[in-house]
Chains A and B, each alone.
Chain A
Amino acid sequence: MRLFLLGGAAALFALSSCTAGASEPPSRIVITIEHSRFEPSKLVVERGTTVTFVVRNRDPIDHELIIGDRAVQRHHEVGRDKHHHGEIPGEISVPAGAERTTTYTFSRPGTLLFGCHLPAHYAYGMRGVIEVD
């Protein structure tokens, strides 16, 4: 497995190396939350890749990272489950000032979204896109 950064500035983002294959450790991507924004907010992942997301919340308020398609995002936007402890891949709550990880395998090509569905956060702009090649 190889890891590509698009754009030289992407080197500014904390991002570890990765390896390939089901038996190899997953890729690792650091997503930073500051001022209720995800950084980076666009990812491209090759089908079959397993990625461990390290989510660093630099805000003094709680956030979460929810990965999934539009139906998943819609479900969380209207749902009442506001605490995600990592049991479900790609869904994790990140308290203020904390760091949490969640691992997700991108098995099918297409476009996925990630966002925070605490009240008003998604509408404020806490969302991103993952293109799965």
Chain B
Amino acid sequence: MVTGAMTVLAAGPALACGGLIAPNGAVNLVRTSTLAAYQDGVEHYVTSFEFAGAGTKFGSIIPLPGVPSRVIKGGDWTLQRLAIETQPEELPVPVALSDGETTAAQSAEVLIEKEIAALDVTVVRGGGDAIGKWAKGQGFNLPPDAPEVLDFYADRSPVFMAVSFDPKRAENQGIGSGDGIPVHLAIPTDNPWVPLRILGLGKQSDERIEADVYLLTDKAPAMLPNPIAEEGLELKQTGPASDLLLSDLRSDRGMSWLPSSDMWLTYLQVDSSAGSLSYDLAVDASGQGEPSEVDAGLARAGSVYVPDDGRAATALAWVLAAVAVVLVIKLANRTIRVSA
């Protein structure tokens, strides 16, 4: 059975799908949209970076579920067509751009470098610390929450896509304010997930995060967190996708892999404070109805497994003991006293 899933994450104005990392605090990115699609074990990310025209260099960093097998220019209307399907009032202007290759000196384990129009796309693998130092080495100032957020993702998948925007190249290529540059990544992975917590990178705890998430699957998807129960993640629409929508998407560049019929469209809306957006969206594409707690960021990779037999009590005792130790440490007064 072919299992397919497509996820589109379209951020609202002044909201990026990835965490912004910008030198001198200058952020020209005004909108980023991302499509993450899943078919036959490959997740397709199509991300569009829209910006406010000339300005300083800026960038965005997006955690990935695995190492991409290819990085190409995204389709010209895929994101726009999905926006039309669900948000006809928001019609980003597509831009015809050319692909290209580039390299840049990197300090971490750089897996892929690709120049796409005015964007330098780099796929980097490493722990949170390594990724942070690499980004710092590229001249970007990471916000104070970056170390914790990068660790949050690196513990599950130490692969990140960093995208930096070159304003001079944009000017030379005639890319203007409001234009978007789509990027398409194909990522082999067991199950897709959509990074949501990264949206709050660098934001105050009470700042609002608003984003639209669209899923296209061959059946009604199982998601975690459950959008019905999770405050800040609302299920807005679910039902069969129209053949016209699928046909339009299939006709775009690099989208022919998409089935032409029998897909299920789900529309979710993120409306949360940055401080509360502590999770990602896990999608079970296996048909088992068991989205991963680890993929959702609700459990750490390698969490203690408690077997369902006689060893369970012993294992549970160890877990409780560990929790008790942690509580003792937490509750202890961490004051250091120095006296004469």
**Chain A residues packing against B (C-beta within 8 Å):** 1-10, 12-13, 15, 18, 20, 27, 29, 34-36, 39-49, 51, 58-62, 96-97, 116, 118-121, 123-124, 126, 133
Contacts and interface: CB of A to CB of B under 8 A. Distances in A.
Chain B contact patch, size range: 20 to 34
B136 A96 contact: yes
Given A4-B339, A61-B147, A121-B144, A96 B333 contact: no
B338 A45 contact: yes
Point out which of B150, B202, B204, B338 has the most chain A C-beta atoms below 10 A from its C-beta.
B338
B340 A124 contact: no
B339 A2 contact: yes
Contact of B132 (A4, A8, A13, A61): A61
Interface of B: 25, 128-133, 135-136, 141-148, 150-151, 202, 204, 328-329, 332-340
Contacts of A58: 129
8 contacts: A6-B335, A9-B329, A42-B333, A44-B335, A59-B147, A61-B136, A61-B141, A126-B144
A32 B334 CA distance: 13
Contacts of B135: 60
Sort A-B residue pairs by CB-CB distance and give the 10 closest, nearest first.
Answer: A60-B132, A9-B332, A7-B332, A46-B339, A4-B337, A35-B148, A7-B333, A36-B144, A124-B144, A44-B337
Contacts, number: 123
Contact of B334 (A7, A97, A124): A7
Contact of A61 (B142, B328, B340): B142
A5 to B, nearest CB: 6
B334 to A, nearest CB: 4
B204 A10 contact: no
B340 A46 contact: yes
Given A7-B333, A124-B145, A60 B136 contact: yes
Contacts of A62: 136
Given A34-B147, A123-B204, A42 B338 contact: no
B82 to A, nearest CB: 34
Contacts of B142: 60-61
